[in-house]
């Protein structure tokens, strides 16, 4: 006798006519793996293949017959992107998709505060959840190798340990909202020049010690549910179809059970895509954002060619099942999870979070004669000069371009803080329109803009110059690197001209990259302000006025000149390569590791940042000096706020080993702790350091190895400002 079974699970009704069928994949009380296997057993080969490739610019298919939803992704480096047309990059022109812009990730890294990273991840995750996204395409953790890289502003700086500590809570925050974080770009995507074909060569030590740790932390500690391959090649294979990166390192060594998503247009071959670890192919026949046009999704490498190969026996069915299994697992963790919370969009809480992160990330680089802070009411006439004071800095830049609900410009923030009657504005310089793929100079007369700005500066009590880079092509922008370390658009000349008529000048740099500062000795105050998002103007005014004490630290070194950086200390093959190959000749000596080891003085060192108060460190001590490789050492010290205002200091613990069997950097960051102290407050601080973190990657044995012998632990407020040292000895096993 036939029966009719009605299942009602989480509001979903399924009627199965005829013989009873298993519907465990709808039963959210069952373990995910049981649900995955059940769903897989009910799918046809065609349905499994359909999971593995795009069906639109930002989605791939589910299984409609079984009620399994599609996978929807969104760009989300520092805000959830607007909706796009089905198969184009153009905006769909919705009226309800304007997001909150959070600070760019260089700013987040500059907070040196994992709590801010968790707040960031949860906030942006809530916005993605509200917009019904399955995958948020971020965060980015590619290492800042060269200050010319156009996408550095999307990443977390030059140090693998800092990036590792900051990425884990970000991933956890996003995924707590039932949205998969997609960590990118795996791996070695450290330049935009020739990014689609450049073949990266480097040592195994550099790979494992510098360029992989943040990805590894995101996977093993953050438990990221997805990861995006990179455009470039590594040892001859495109990273989106690299057997070494995807199969061996990611899935075998790191036990990754999530989904590998290609970067858009990053797949080039069916055989390698099938066999070398890719799970979902997106954007084929588009080169990032530079090409759009209609190409049948059925012609993707993991579409009909894959299906044909399966049916002909060319490809093992187990390869297809593994991909489908991972994608189903992703869907059950997100869209079909019983515990998926509701999201929220452009909420007051998100505005507060964006402002707080921006405040903590702003770095005070110089403050001669305590020109800053400038309390409200101190000056009657304040000149604000510079295009970046009014220009939108959430648009442009490639895939990070956002459609925001609102954006408080620096000029607006300063007007609201000091009173618009006290503010006069002059543009000073002009960059031209924001176009993707080419430079477009401004039609405004540069001399006229400069002269007008100088006239205003003459009669002002103080000048706030708001400049830096922007999101134009060849600035902080995807698909093109910067052409030099210098400020663009004649800004150096403008700063020099203003300084000649007004000595009270604060230079505020909005950028995601280091810039040269030939005028530095003549300028009393310099602020690194990053791209601060929707609350930019308010956060900046909070710092300038002293309502908030700056506590940001540089997540990368600022060199005096480009050739001081390891990637630029050799020939062009080291950067940007010959358009075919690039060799990382600086090896493990990236950023401050190069500068410190080669004894090159930076303009501003990694980890550097001033405050409106001062902090004093006592001599550090350790709980034990003889250590075992599997042990932990506790470093203790007294930290005192000696000033008259509350503030925060990031204590940084570096490690040095002078006698080693392998090349070592002069010092490496291995721990840090951000401490908030009231004025005059003194507290004992303890930083725990696992001895395993002292290991180097043994290329011959292909394992991590802790050398026995003496190590020097260096406690400091930056990589160059060491406050105390202590020796420890690691015993042999």
Active site residues: 263
Total Cβ atoms within 10 A of residue 66? 15
Neighbour order of strands in the sheet with 59-60: 54-56, 59-60, 71-75, 135-137, 180-186, 226-229, 259-261
The residues, ordered by sequence, that sit 6+ positions from 451 with a Cβ below 8 Å of its Cβ are: none
Euclidean distance between CA atoms 505 and 507, whole angstroms: 6
**Which of 363, 235, 325, 284 shows the shortest CA–CA distance to 648?**
363
Euclidean distance between CA atoms 269 and 252, whole angstroms: 22
Within 13 Å of residue 730, how many CA atoms lie on the same side as its CB? 27
Instruction: Report residue 699 as tokens.
Output: 């290329």
Q: What are phi and psi of 723, to 5 degrees?
A: -95, -25
Cα separations in angstroms, 576 against 156, 477, 618, 733 = 21, 16, 44, 43
The residues, ordered by sequence, that sit 6+ positions from 238 with a Cβ below 8 Å of its Cβ are: 229, 231, 232, 266, 267, 268, 269, 272
Q: Is 534 exposed, middle or buried (0-12, 13-18, 19+ CB in 10 A)?
A: buried
Total Cβ atoms within 10 A of residue 11? 5
> Are 612 and 372 contacting, i.e. CB atoms less than 8 angstroms apart?
yes
Euclidean distance between CA atoms 374 and 392, whole angstroms: 25
**Which of 676, 655, 648 shows the shortest CA–CA distance to 719?**
655
**Which of 144, 207, 218 shows the shortest CA–CA distance to 184?**
218
Euclidean distance between CA atoms 85 and 70, whole angstroms: 16
**Which of 210, 159, 206 shows the shortest CA–CA distance to 608?**
159
Instruction: Report residue 414 as tokens.
Output: 């300063």
> Are 70 and 62 contacting, i.e. CB atoms less than 8 angstroms apart?
yes
Q: What are phi and psi of 419, to 5 degrees?
A: 95, 125
Q: Is 236 left (phi over 0), alpha (psi -120 to 50) or beta?
A: left
Instruction: Report residue 554 as tokens.
Output: 């540089």
Euclidean distance between CA atoms 654 and 291, whole angstroms: 45
Cα separations in angstroms, 425 against 373, 447, 460, 465, 504 = 20, 17, 11, 10, 16
Euclidean distance between CA atoms 152 and 442, whole angstroms: 25
Instruction: Report residue 135 as tokens.
Output: 């995958």
Euclidean distance between CA atoms 490 and 431, whole angstroms: 9
Residues paired with 697 in a beta bridge: 704
Measured N-to-C along each axis, helices 348-361 and 536-545 cross at an angle, to the nearest 10 degrees, of: 50
CA 553 to chain centre: 16
> Are 155 and 379 contacting, i.e. CB atoms less than 8 angstroms apart?
no
CA 187 to chain centre: 13
């Amino acid at each position: 006798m036939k029966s009719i079974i009605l299942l009602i699970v989480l509001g979903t009704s399924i009627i199965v006519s005829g013989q009873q069928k298993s519907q465990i994949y709808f039963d959210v009380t069952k373990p995910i793996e049981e649900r995955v296997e059940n769903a897989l057993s009910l799918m046809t080969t065609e349905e499994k293949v359909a999971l593995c490739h795009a069906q639109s610019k930002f989605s791939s298919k589910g299984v409609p017959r079984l009620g399994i939803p599609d996978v929807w992704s969104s760009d989300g480096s520092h805000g959830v992107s607007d909706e796009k047309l089905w198969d184009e990059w153009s905006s769909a022109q919705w009226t309800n998709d304007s997001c909150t812009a959070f600070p760019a990730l260089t700013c987040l890294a500059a907070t040196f505060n994992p709590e801010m990273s968790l707040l960031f991840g949860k906030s942006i995750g809530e916005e993605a959840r509200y917009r019904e996204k399955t995958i948020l395409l971020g965060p980015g953790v590619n290492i800042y190798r060269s200050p010319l890289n156009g996408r550095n502003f999307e990443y977390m700086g030059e140090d693998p340990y800092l990036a590792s500590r900051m990425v884990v809570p970000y991933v956890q925050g996003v995924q707590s909202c039932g949205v998969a974080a997609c960590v990118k770009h795996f791996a070695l995507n450290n330049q935009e020049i020739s990014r689609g074909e450049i073949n990266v060569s480097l040592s195994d030590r550099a790979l494992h010690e510098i360029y992989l740790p943040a990805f590894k932390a995101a996977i093993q500690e953050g438990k990221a549910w997805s990861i995006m391959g990179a455009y470039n090649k590594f040892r001859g294979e495109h990273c989106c179809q690299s057997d070494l990166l995807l199969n061996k390192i990611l899935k075998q060594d790191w036990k990754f059970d999530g989904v590998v998503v290609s970067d858009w247009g990053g797949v080039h071959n069916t055989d390698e895509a099938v066999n070398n670890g890719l799970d979902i192919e997106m954007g084929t026949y588009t080169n990032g954002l530079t090409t759009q046009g209609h190409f049948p999704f059925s012609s993707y490498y993991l579409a009909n060619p894959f299906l044909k190969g399966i049916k002909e026996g060319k490809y093992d069915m187990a390869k297809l099942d593994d991909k489908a299994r991972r994608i189903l697992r992703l869907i059950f963790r997100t869209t079909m999870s019983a515990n998926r919370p509701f999201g929220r969009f452009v909420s007051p809480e998100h505005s507060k979070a964006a402002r707080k992160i921006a405040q903590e990330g702003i770095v005070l680089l110089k403050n001669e004669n305590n020109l800053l802070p400038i309390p409200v009411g101190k000056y009657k006439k304040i000149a604000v000069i510079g295009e970046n004071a009014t220009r939108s800095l959430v648009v442009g830049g490639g895939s990070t371009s956002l459609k925001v609900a609102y954006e408080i410009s620096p000029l607006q923030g300063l007007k609201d803080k000091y009173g618009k009657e006290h503010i006069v504005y002059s543009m000073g310089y002009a960059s031209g329109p924001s176009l993707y793929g080419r430079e477009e100079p401004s039609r405004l007369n540069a001399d006229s803009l400069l002269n007008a700005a100088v006239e205003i500066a003459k009669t002002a009590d103080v000048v706030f110059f708001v400049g830096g880079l922007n999101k134009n092509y060849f600035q902080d922008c995807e698909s093109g690197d910067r052409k030099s370390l210098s400020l663009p658009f004649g800004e150096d000349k403008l700063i020099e001209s203003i300084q000649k008529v007004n000595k009270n000048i604060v230079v505020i740099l909005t950028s995601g990259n280091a810039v040269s500062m030939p005028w530095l000795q003549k300028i009393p105050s310099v602020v690194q302000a990053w791209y601060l998002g929707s609350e930019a103007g308010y956060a900046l005014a909070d710092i300038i006025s002293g309502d908030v004490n700056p506590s940001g630290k540089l997540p990368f070194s600022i060199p005096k000149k480009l050739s001081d950086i390891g990637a630029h200390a050799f020939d062009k093959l080291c950067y940007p390569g010959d358009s075919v190959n690039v060799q990382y000749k600086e090896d493990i000596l990236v950023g401050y590791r190069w500068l410190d080891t080669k004894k090159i003085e930076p303009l501003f060192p990694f980890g550097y940042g001033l405050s409106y108060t001062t902090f004093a460190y006592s001599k550090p001590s350790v709980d034990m000096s003889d250590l075992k490789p599997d042990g932990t050492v506790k470093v203790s010290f007294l930290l005192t706020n000696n000033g008259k205002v509350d503030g925060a200091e990031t204590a940084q613990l570096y490690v040095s080993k002078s006698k080693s069997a392998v090349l070592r950097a002069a010092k490496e960051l291995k721990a840090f702790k951000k401490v908030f102290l009231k004025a005059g407050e003194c507290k004992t601080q303890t930083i725990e350091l696992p001895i395993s973190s002292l290991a180097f990657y043994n290329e011959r044995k292909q394992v991590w190895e802790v050398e026995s012998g003496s190590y020097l632990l260096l406690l400091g407020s930056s990589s160059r400002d060491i406050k105390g040292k202590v020796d420890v000895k690691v015993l042999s096993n």
